[in-house]
Amino acid sequence: MKSITLKKVASQGAGLIKVMGMIAIALNLVACVGNAYEEDADRMDVVTIGDSIFDLNGVIEDTLYSYAGQTFRNYTKSGAELSGGALATAIDKQYADAKSTDSNINTVLMDGAGNDILIPATLFDPYGCRTQWYRWNISNRCVGLIEDQYVHAVNLLNQMAADGVNDVVWLGYYELPRGNKNLTQALNLGDDYIAYACEVSGNANCQFVDPRGTVPASQVESDNIHPTPAGSVNLANQIWPVLQPLL
């Protein structure tokens, strides 16, 4: 019979605790506990879809509502990936749900594709999306992951165009500070691809709001991902000049 030493048991237990801890941290960072759909609004033809950048504190939407003097339908979900994912309703599914409730959608405000990078990177970084002292550039696997999100983005935008959506306002991702600073290269490439997706998609007028270089670390929560209320107001103020003429 193979003997198992106390040292080995302790090592295995520590490894399991480390894994469970990393999973718990990941779930906390993507903030999977989100808000319910808001399907009763003043402007039923204006729809917001996306992830916890919008959904977690709700300040971006509230600020835009105050500027517009009216509310929009809101389908954002914390933890949402652009397509697929197990933690929350995916963003393409959010759009499908909005269309199912009321297909008369003229304007879509959204973000997306950040969690597709952040969730695996927060756990074990299997795609090599974090730069390291021994790897100054993101890996080819990470580039491939980002290219996949570009394809999902183009498909979603083309579907919106086919459905008669007139305008899309897509909020990009800002640089993350402190412990997530080494994701900057991956998120920058993701922003570049999403901006390009806005250019090459179908007939829906897609405008990309690029917040890079505008959100200081003081406007990012201690999780190094989500905007503080002040950061959310900052982002809303960047969205509003683009969104206002479409309302």
Positions in the chain whose pLDDT score sits under 50: 1-25, 29-30
Q: CA-CA distance, 8 to 47, in Å (whole number)?
A: 54
DSSP class of 32: -
- Residues 152 and 190: beta-carbon distance below 8 Å: no
DSSP class of 169: E
Sign of the C-alpha dihedral computed for residues 47, 53, 58 and 63 taken in this order: negative
Q: CA-CA distance, 80 to 82, in Å (whole number)?
A: 7
pLDDT on residue 20: 42
DSSP class of 132: B
pLDDT on residue 16: 40
pLDDT on residue 54: 97
End-to-end CA distance of the chain: 74
pLDDT on residue 34: 56
